[in-house]
Amino acid sequence: MDRGTKEAIALEGITEDHTFFKHLVQHRTIDNGNAINLLPFDKIQALLKRNVLAAHPNKTYTFHSRHVQTFFERVFAAKE
């Protein structure tokens, strides 16, 4: 597992299997409104700064990179 991603989310007090990440694994993107319903805005901002998430001009978020996406895909695959 990617230690950097794991540490980044742990530092923010978020679990690897949080519903927010599950949504991103399933849908690849999440709009700002749904994101804030699942995770406080300050946590989203922290994940952006830690390069876990990427923000886009159309007010959506995605995983920052394929590497981060793969990390979370593995987390949820292990839960099945």
Q: Which H or E element spans position 30?
A: strand 30-31
Q: What is the pLDDT of residues 3-36, one digit of tens each?
A: 899 999 999 999 999 999 999 999 999 999 999 9
Residues 6+ apart with CB under 8 A from 65: 51, 54
pLDDT for the residue 1:
46
Domain that holds residue 8: 3-79
Q: What is the CATH number of the domain that holds 48?
A: 1.10.10.10
Q: Cα(5)–Cα(56) distance, rounded to whole angstroms?
A: 20
Give the tens place of pLDDT for each residue, 54-71.
Answer: 999 999 999 999 999 999
What is the average per-residue pLDDT within 39-43? 97
Number of domains in the chain: 1
User: What is the structure's pLDDT at 56?
Assistant: 98
Please list the alpha-helical segments (H only) found in 1-80. 3-11, 19-27, 32-38, 41-49, 66-79
